[in-house]
Amino acid sequence: MKADEVIKQFLSAKQNFIFIGEAGSGKSETALNFALAVHRLSDKKVHFFDLDQTKPLFRSRDVRDKLEEQGIAFHFEEQFQDAPTSAGGVNAVLADPDAIAVLDVGGNDTGSRLIGEYSGWLQQPGTQVFFMLNTYRPWSREIGAIDQTMTLIYRAARIGLENTSVILNPNVGHTTTPEEVLEGEKKAEDMLNGMLPVSLLAVRDEAADEVSRHTDLPVFPISLFINYDWD
């Protein structure tokens, strides 16, 4: 099944999509690409909420103009020093049947506390939570660490696993090869062992075609929008 078909299936029953995961999982980049895909596949108004207040770099808000140019409403709140802040209007969009919300949530249990106030909405059948997993990150290399991370994040966010699936994003940076993606996918599936369903395999668009020939997972090509200043 292709990624667009998977996303269409979600859209037939879901309207709110929450991206959570540790720093370095590719959460923000994947959430941005997902919002653009939803905008392309749905007639509803798409709202993107940058609720990540846990890091000063690599934030989705830094490329908000790219989403706004496509007609996506972008919401965030300027952060004052290290004070956590949350964008306004979340509840209204989560409750709007004619809107689709994509939430990029802070990359650890501290960041996830910000969405605890919306836990009532987040546990409704119309909400899908995506846990981002990059098996090349130090804290995601074995199932015990993943389980600990998920427990901390979910407890802080006050949400359950009922509406959760995994998006794999195995990468070691912008030079990641198709072989490294496939090795990371195999490791993730061995570790998860069916604990949670895997919905998509996020792959940098240049490598997506090659990876798709060697995996049964739906490959979700992602463009890298955030400037990492590799040079």
pLDDT (tens digit per residue) in 200-217: 999 999 999 999 999 999
Looking at residue 87, its pLDDT comes to 55
In a domain, 10, yes or no: yes
Structure tokens of 189? Answer: 């599936």
Which residues of the chain fall below pLDDT 50? Answer: 79-85, 229-231
**In CATH, what number is assigned to the domain containing residue 215?**
3.40.50.300
| Total of domains in the chain | 1
- What is the C-alpha to C-alpha distance for residues 157 and 119, in angstroms, rounded to an integer? 7
Helices (H) and strands (E) in the chain, counts: 9, 8
Q: What is the pTM of this model?
A: 0.87
Provide the residue range defining the domain that includes 56.
3-78+85-222
- What is the C-alpha to C-alpha distance for residues 210 and 177, in angstroms, rounded to an integer? 10
Looking at residue 195, its pLDDT comes to 84
CA torsion angle 64 177 199 40 (round to 10): 40
- What is the C-alpha to C-alpha distance for residues 9 and 181, in angstroms, rounded to an integer? 25
- What is the C-alpha to C-alpha distance for residues 96 and 74, in angstroms, rounded to an integer? 16
In a domain, 129, yes or no: yes
In a domain, 178, yes or no: yes
In a domain, 231, yes or no: no
Question: Which position has the token pair 């995996």?
Answer: 215
CA atoms within 13 A on the CB side of 84: 13
In a domain, 229, yes or no: no
User: What b-and-e string marks burial along 123-147, b requiring 16 or more CB atoms within 10 Å of the CB?
Assistant: eeeebbbbbbbbbbbeebeeeeebe
Q: Which of 230, 173, 227, 221 has the alpha carbon at shortest distance from 6?
A: 221
pLDDT tens for residues 60-70?
Answer: 777 888 899 99
In a domain, 230, yes or no: no
Instruction: Tell me if 222 sits within 8 A of 29, measured CB to CB.
Output: yes
In a domain, 228, yes or no: no
In a domain, 149, yes or no: yes
Question: Which position has the token pair 């996830």?
Answer: 112
Q: Which of 67, 37, 38 has the alpha carbon at shortest distance from 50?
A: 67
Looking at residue 80, its pLDDT comes to 40
